[in-house]
Amino acid sequence: MTGKAIDFSSRRKKLSELVLDDSVILLSSSTLKSRNSDSDYPFRQDSNFYYLSGFNEPESIKSY
């Protein structure tokens, strides 16, 4: 595992210690925002989603 992967893994582990056993955590990422009918704003991932997953794609769902 790379250093970044270890960081994300340890963050998820800390989160899992805060919830009850047999619980599920669902996180959703940001979506693309339309500027007008021809273009979108630059994509920016939700900070909490990225902090836990490291995944930078729009309209994603992550479960733990």
Nearest partner of 60 among 33, 34, 37, 26, judged by Cα: 26
Q: What is the CATH number of the domain that holds 48?
A: 3.40.350.10
Query: What mean pLDDT value characterizes the chain?
Result: 92
Q: How many domains does the chain have?
A: 1
The reported pLDDT for the residue numbered 43 is: 96
List, for residues 31-45, the tens digit of each pLDDT value.
Answer: 999 999 999 999 999
Contacts of 19 (CB under 8 A, 6+ apart): 25
Check residue 45 and report its DSSP letter. Answer: -
Rg (CA), the chain: 14
Q: Which domain holds residue 29?
A: 3-63
26-28 and 61-63 beta bridge pairing: antiparallel
Find the mean pLDDT for residues 49-59: 95
Find the mean pLDDT for residues 16-34: 93
